[in-house]
Structure 1
Amino acid sequence: MTTTPHMRRLGILSKKNALSALGILFILFALVGCDKEKKAAAPRPAAPVNTVTAKAVDTPVTIKAVGNVKASNSVTVKSRVDGHILRIHFLDGDMVAAGQPLYTIDPETYIYTQMGAQASVASDRANAEYARKEYLRYKDLFDQNVISRDEYEVKLTAYETARKAMEADSAQVDIARRNVKFTQITSPINGMAGSTLLDEGNLVGADKDELVVIKTLAPADVQFSVPGYELPRIRAVYVDNQLTVLATPALSGAEPARGVLTFMDNWVNPDTGMINLKARFPNQDTALWPGQFVTINLILTTQENAVRIPAQAVQRGPSGRYVFVVEDGKAKIRPVVPGLRVDEEVVIDSGLTAGETVVVEGMLRLFPDAPVAIKNAPETAPAAEGNSTKGQENS
């Protein structure tokens, strides 16, 4: 086939166009590569986080339990004599003192009984005096051998009988006097009176009918139980030390009452695996009320200068627990060993020192040496010393 000049010109143009297209493509790829390099070289934005400053705080090592408040003394008042209630001398809920009158029982029958016993004693005394004189006269006659021994011993026996009869009736006078006294029912203890169970005019039986219950509110006792496996820890410090117990009424938000451990039972209940304990509280403000449930913290010892942070700051990884700390604006992974749990906080036994800035929010966006932007001014953990006295448990 013969190639014409026109066809040769078209071939030359096609080659030039192809070279031009390749040049354009090369330039485009170069621009795209430069753009990627620029993007790769751009710095990562700082991750926003919230932080706290770890602080060393003296932290009590405690055993937590739930307890029930009991009055340190509780007495159910009953009448010691039969009779009608003439008068009630207190109002429901009054604070009463030991010896204060509570009830008056009709004393009329017992007064008459006392008067009769006294009259019997007077008669017996006269009989005994006459028998004594007869005995002494017959004794003189017997000493002079005027009468026989039998006659003398009859007078001696009569005198002894009269004297014993007088003593017996004297005892009846004492019993009658005591019964008259028992018609005045008084409070046996200091405390708060409950509601009277019988009103004026009711007939009460001796040692049968309950009249009122009086409870001593200050001091107050709290009974609680802890697992038997805690016994060695308690005994290790209870023998030589007076253990402090904190009691906080449930859902009250009040400051915990401070008392001391006064009783540890002599056995662990095999059915429940628990051991019973009791603590006494001064309770001058009556914050603890009989029957109330309270949160108990039995303080065994105090861990001095314990480093505490919010528990949410501690993360779990393949190699164990860790936290993120902020150094020079970057996040650093710090392996830690957590210890006691203190409400919403945790004691760090090792791996962290007081004063370090610890991340508590925003950990999901962090990695080693990630730039961070602290959103809040670092707070100190714990926020209040009072938190260190609340319940703790092992992590």
Structure 2
Amino acid sequence: MNITLSKKQLIAIAAILIAGIVLALLILGNGGAKDDHAHEEEKHAHAEEKSAPPVEGLLLMSAEQGKAAGVVIATAAPGRIQTSVALPGEIRFNEDRTAHVVPRLAGVVEAVHADLGQLVKKGQVLAVIASTELSEQRSALLSAQRRLSLARATYEREKMLWQEKISAELDYLQAQQAWREAEIAVQNAQQKLQALGAAGSAKGPLNRYDIRAPFDAMVLEKHITLGEAVKEDANIFVISDLSTVWAEIAVPAKDLATVRVGGKVLVKASAFNASAKGTITYVGALLGEQTRTAKARISLQNPDMAWRPGLFVSVEVIAGEQDAPVTVQSTAIQSVEDKPSVFVQLKHGYQATPVITGRSDGQLTEITRGLAVGTPYAAQGSFTLKSELGKASAGHEH
């Protein structure tokens, strides 16, 4: 069947086709514009993300990286903080173990065996003098010993004669009395020599007198020379046992309630890095008229001779302990932008969190604001985190 289209029909069909093509082109054009717009928005978003400033104080670091850097995590928790009072002091000789050696006998110096700074042992001979007085004392002892020997023999003979009814009882009693008196004379002569430090049998000449160290010590002063004539009260040596020393402090009246005998202290040297624990052994009962302070004394062990007399020290007297609701280890506190801060552990790193600190005893520090109980923080290695944060900030600014 032949279909013949009229001219009007052909024009209508052509118009429909043209309209469809135009519509399709419009649709395609709008879709591409939308895609281009979306793409531009995405690029703009990425640019904004790259140019956005980082969170202040945030350091991105994995847990493994932190561990490798020496970071040790702890948790903020309540604690007990020791309170203390810091007082200036000075190391002194232990006067209970310091001796001024005197001869106790006049004489002439025959030998000197000790020198300044020398360590001497108890009983070691420091010097030798020749003394006529000592010679007389030893002679008196020898005479008394001989009289005692004779009196003992006479007593034994008279006792035997009396028992055999040969001599009278009076002779026996008189011999007994003479023997007792001779014993007393010997004891008296021995005690005189003991008081002079010259007891025992004399070795060598009777006038030889050995001056010996009374205990283990160091020779601090020496005032004796060979051939010198010395008096019995001359101060010829000063020795001191430096294995223990005293730290002497001046205590103001307001701190007397804190500084008590038996209290524990921490002594720190001012000239070098050294510290030692000690115990308060003495607190003066009177205040100085000029200083209005009382003297207190701490006994310190000094095995390595590090605490030398004359050294200035700082003495921290522990006053007691107080509870703190939130504490961190003192090593965790770092100054970030001139503010005390703690590096708090996050999921992907650490946040330098400003805090307000309170009391501290060197081990624990109280946090009064900025940190809650149970917060994980960098107890060790916080200085490393501070350095890394500074590097990251410098790189971003650049």
TM-score per shorter chain, which class?
Answer: 0.5 to 0.7
Mapping for residues 198-237 of structure 1, pairs under 5 Å: 198-206=224-232, 208-233=233-258
Partners of 2:286 and 2:152 in 1: CA distance:
66
| Contact map agreement 1:120 1:169 (CA 8 A) in 2 | yes
Deviations 1:289-326 (A, max 9, x none): 11222122234467752664559946xxxxxxx99x9x
1:99 aligns with 2:123: yes
CA separation of 1:294/1:233 partners in 2, compared to 1, >3 Å: closer, same or farther? closer
Deviations 1:164-199 (A, max 9, x none): 342243235525764583721111122211131121
Query: 67, 74, 91: which one pairs with 1:69?
Result: 91
One-letter code aligned to 1:247: V
The corresponding residue for 1:305 is 328
1:263 aligns with 2:289: no
| Contact map agreement 2:105 2:133 (CA 8 A) in 1 | no
The corresponding residue for 2:198 is 181
| Contact map agreement 1:259 1:280 (CA 8 A) in 2 | no
One-letter code aligned to 1:297: E
Structure 1 gap ranges (5+) = 1-45, 144-151, 315-321, 326-332, 357-373, 379-395
The corresponding residue for 1:26 is none
Partners of 2:130 and 2:215 in 1: CA distance:
23
Deviations 1:259-290 (A, max 9, x none): 22232527463855544433233222222111
One-letter code aligned to 1:158: Q
State the secondary structure of the residue aligned to 1:181: coil
One-letter code aligned to 1:220: V
Partners of 1:191 and 1:289 in 2: CA distance:
14
One-letter code aligned to 1:62: S
One-letter code aligned to 2:270: A
The structural deviation recorded for 1:160 is: 4.0
1:247 aligns with 2:273: no
Partners of 2:366 and 2:154 in 1: CA distance:
97
The structural deviation recorded for 1:204 is: 2.2
The structural deviation recorded for 1:114 is: 2.4
CA separation of 1:349/1:275 partners in 2, compared to 1, >3 Å: closer, same or farther? farther
Mapping for residues 109-120 of structure 1, pairs under 5 Å: 110-111=134-135, 113-120=137-144
The corresponding residue for 1:350 is 368
One-letter code aligned to 1:305: V
Structure 2 gap ranges (5+) = 1-52, 60-73, 200-208, 344-352, 379-388, 394-398
What percentage of residue pairs aligned between the two structures are identical?
15
Deviations 1:194-225 (A, max 9, x none): 1311212222222x111111112222221213
What TM-score, normalized by structure 1, do the two folds share? 0.56
The structural deviation recorded for 1:69 is: 1.0
- RMSD in angstroms over aligned alpha carbons? 4.9
State the secondary structure of the residue aligned to 2:198: helix
The corresponding residue for 1:90 is 114
One-letter code aligned to 2:216: N
The corresponding residue for 1:164 is 180
CA separation of 1:351/1:159 partners in 2, compared to 1, >3 Å: closer, same or farther? same
One-letter code aligned to 2:180: K
Mapping for residues 234-383 of structure 1, pairs under 5 Å: 243=264, 245-252=265-272, 254-256=273-275, 258-265=276-283, 267=285, 269=287, 271=289, 274-300=293-319, 305=328, 308=333, 313=338, 338-340=357-359, 349-353=367-371
CA separation of 1:189/1:158 partners in 2, compared to 1, >3 Å: closer, same or farther? same
One-letter code aligned to 1:225: A
The structural deviation recorded for 1:66 is: 0.9
| Contact map agreement 1:51 1:377 (CA 8 A) in 2 | no
Partners of 1:229 and 1:51 in 2: CA distance:
46
CA separation of 1:217/1:131 partners in 2, compared to 1, >3 Å: closer, same or farther? closer
The structural deviation recorded for 1:347 is: 5.5
One-letter code aligned to 1:246: L
State the secondary structure of the residue aligned to 2:242: strand
Partners of 2:392 and 2:257 in 1: CA distance:
44
CA separation of 1:296/1:134 partners in 2, compared to 1, >3 Å: closer, same or farther? closer
The structural deviation recorded for 1:162 is: 2.0
One-letter code aligned to 2:328: N
Deviates most, 80-89 or 55-64: 55-64
Deviations 1:66-91 (A, max 9, x none): 11212332111111222112111122
| Contact map agreement 2:99 2:239 (CA 8 A) in 1 | yes
| Contact map agreement 1:227 1:273 (CA 8 A) in 2 | yes
| Contact map agreement 1:117 1:176 (CA 8 A) in 2 | no
The corresponding residue for 1:197 is 223
What TM-score, normalized by structure 2, do the two folds share? 0.55
The corresponding residue for 2:26 is none
One-letter code aligned to 2:370: L
Deviations 1:357-378 (A, max 9, x none): xxxxxxxxxxxxxxxxx86669
